[in-house]
Structure 1
């Protein structure tokens, strides 16, 4: 919580400051901080004039709140930085200002990335809620929300809720800011839930699954409109979980490193939701994940696009990139053994030319595939077959990557996939040379520290 106001300066201290010259006085007031500065303004006309210097409050606003212009929390202009500091303190003084600055900067960066890269999703973000609305939600739920979560919703009430209009839902269903994956007919796209949806869906879960939620301060903070995927925040300890398809019996997996969660204000508080969103933003900003097209809609794809999680290999001019995503909501059961499911994405292209034995070819076509899947360095599956998902792509220079997704179960424990594709120069119907093998560099299958 915000620290109490410091005691007003004594007459002797104020007199000592009065004797200082301009730069020295400015330095002392700046180092003292905004609350002592406000108290000094009451000591004398000279100190009041020194404290009224707006360059001083510009520094306070930048250091404490990350403001580079005198605006209120709604972004409306104010007459000075001193007024801005006062307005922000009135709105957020019940929170540590370092946390206010952190959450403000998160949403500012997230909105900037979305507006530049995914404007369709940026349009789904909602105006932040008030303290009164948070209090009402807590009363409905019967317990308090973690401080970082409350601040997240003060700045932005997540995304527009789904409506009763199925056509509208279909149009916006891929616009989840958390994103997802698609393989075969299995589509997942996760939206961050607005406060009203959190309350409604949480109360519904309490009614449907009392054995899981009874007596526990859980809320549902993000869901998928396609196949079910649910993220759950424990408001007692700040930990974030994702439900599996066995959620009705309480099966959940942690989504962030437990050691990082600090739900109390003994230090700077941070809960799993804030950590999870910040890590997601980092991956968007550094290009680890990007937007892709799904049918005619853009979405945030969780398939990694950069090393070390995305591997790349070039053979005879054919480039293959590969990466995988853990599918937490869909564990598999094979006999008596429980296994995990991973979806993987393969991208094939010919950046410049297909070359074999010193001869250049204008195109090449895939004929067959061969996979070796390992769990803890033990081969658990060897798969061979013609084509990929029923297709035999033709690659040539200048074309976009051919992309396909599939999936594989894996016994618990880290694993990997590697393999090769068989291509023919030209086309299968009219080969122009001998078949050749294209390598797929090994890519990891593992449960990550952060699950999205």
Structure 2
């Protein structure tokens, strides 16, 4: 006990004021240095700045030529305006790159280096508006990617429909800056060569054309409006930082599947798994804004289903899928039942250890929908041995949307 207490005492700073200073933000610590000579001396304490270097700049190795205080100041002189967001964005980029190196080498090779402050200043002069600091900071780390496929911000493939969104560099984004009615002061962040789809960030005044400053969205023309500038929106983020952080976490956690070296933006709810005997069915879903609209209400979803048979199942349990049954419930309480042969024209045979995956789609006119059902199989050994396999209930809900402020 005495040894523990002694060790703990040794870890405490010799001056109690140092313990208090260790809780301060870097700006407050600098302010303390102007109070008096004693605080000026203590505020330069090297361990204090080592912690701040790690906290804000993720620096863990000292520079032999500089103290931690000097290293912090040197870094701050370049990145100081981003001190509150840099560490989060840098961690996101580092996690994403580590994942891409292992799973998506084509994407990692397409990333561009960081932009310079003068590059970002020049873009602001060009468009006549300030860029949000979180977006600027991300561009300082990596200025988007080359205009190649696959795109960093995810792909989607369904029948003859394909989408892959690249993260635009800031110069290309500035070239697509919108000044037309309905899309005033909106900067494109992503772009798809195949669909022309972009996610935009609003840079104008709060409430201008019904948008919040820094808000990210997919534009959606209001097909019922007489004014062609009436643009509804599917909202994808309240800020660049929250949008990018959410995306990266979905990628690195494995929630988005990697298919043929591409990130597919299917969202998998871990509760959407059902096992019947030796067969497991799991479901993930994705919303397609480019095929959807708010007015008229038309929401397009694709869902990806994985059917797998346990590798420990007996070989005589091998079976073939014959038909499917769906129970579909919309948010207004309407129920529809659908049944038919096979799945997307296929009748997969399941053997121990086999996994069969397929994608299909659905559209609905309400903001959310639930689907559940079952597959009917027969054993290969005995066609009369027919059984059902449950499909778990899964929920599809379109992103938040906002109607255009233009007159209809």
Q: Give the shorter-chain TM-score range.
A: 0.7 to 0.9
Shift of 1:86: 1.5
SS, match of residue 324 in structure 2: strand
Shift of 1:69: 2.5
TM (normalized to structure 1)?
A: 0.73
Identify if the C-alpha distance between structure 1 residues 437 and 25 changes in structure 2 by more than 3 Å, giving closer, same or farther: closer
Shift of 1:328: 1.7
Task: Kindly indicate whether the alpha-carbon contact (under 8 Å) linking 1:245 and 1:331 is maintained by their aligned counterparts in 2.
Answer: no
Higher deviation after alignment, 50-59 or 378-387: 50-59
Task: Kindly indicate whether the alpha-carbon contact (under 8 Å) linking 1:341 and 1:407 is maintained by their aligned counterparts in 2.
Answer: yes
Distance 2:134 2:396 in 1: 32
Determine whether 1:114 maps to 2:100.
yes
Q: Please name the residue that 2:215 is paired with.
A: 239
Shift of 1:199: 1.3
Determine whether 1:183 maps to 2:158.
yes
Q: Please name the residue that 1:423 is paired with.
A: 377
1:88 to 64, 75, 80: 75
TM (normalized to structure 2)?
A: 0.81
Q: Please name the residue that 1:289 is paired with.
A: 256
Alignment of 1:4-15 (within 5 A): none
SS, match of residue 289 in structure 2: strand
SS, match of residue 128 in structure 1: coil
Shift of 1:89: 1.2
Q: Which has the higher contact order (CA 8 A, sep 6+)?
A: 2
Shift of 1:299: 1.1
Q: Please name the residue that 1:227 is paired with.
A: 195
1:61 to 53, 57, 66: 53
Q: Please name the residue that 1:279 is paired with.
A: 246
SS, match of residue 157 in structure 1: coil
Q: Deviations over 1:116-138 (max 9, x none)?
A: 44333222222111111011111
How many residues align? The count is: 374
2:268 to 297, 305, 309: 305
Q: Please name the residue that 1:414 is paired with.
A: 368
Shift of 1:367: 1.6
Task: Kindly indicate whether the alpha-carbon contact (under 8 Å) linking 1:320 and 1:348 is maintained by their aligned counterparts in 2.
Answer: yes
Q: Please name the residue that 1:211 is paired with.
A: 181
Alignment of 1:260-409 (within 5 A): 261=238, 272-291=239-258, 293=259, 297-308=260-271, 311-331=272-292, 338-352=297-311, 361-376=316-331, 378-379=333-334, 381-399=336-354, 401-409=355-363
Alignment of 1:64-213 (within 5 A): 64-70=56-62, 79-93=66-80, 95=81, 97-160=83-146, 162=147, 169=148, 173-174=149-150, 176-202=151-177, 206=179, 210-213=180-183
Task: Kindly indicate whether the alpha-carbon contact (under 8 Å) linking 2:163 and 2:195 is maintained by their aligned counterparts in 1.
Answer: yes
Task: Kindly indicate whether the alpha-carbon contact (under 8 Å) linking 1:69 and 1:81 is maintained by their aligned counterparts in 2.
Answer: no
Q: Please name the residue that 2:398 is paired with.
A: 447
Distance 1:392 1:230 in 2: 37
Identify if the C-alpha distance between structure 1 residues 108 and 332 changes in structure 2 by more than 3 Å, giving closer, same or farther: closer
RMSD between aligned residues: 3.1
Shift of 1:337: 5.7
Task: Kindly indicate whether the alpha-carbon contact (under 8 Å) linking 1:181 and 1:301 is maintained by their aligned counterparts in 2.
Answer: yes
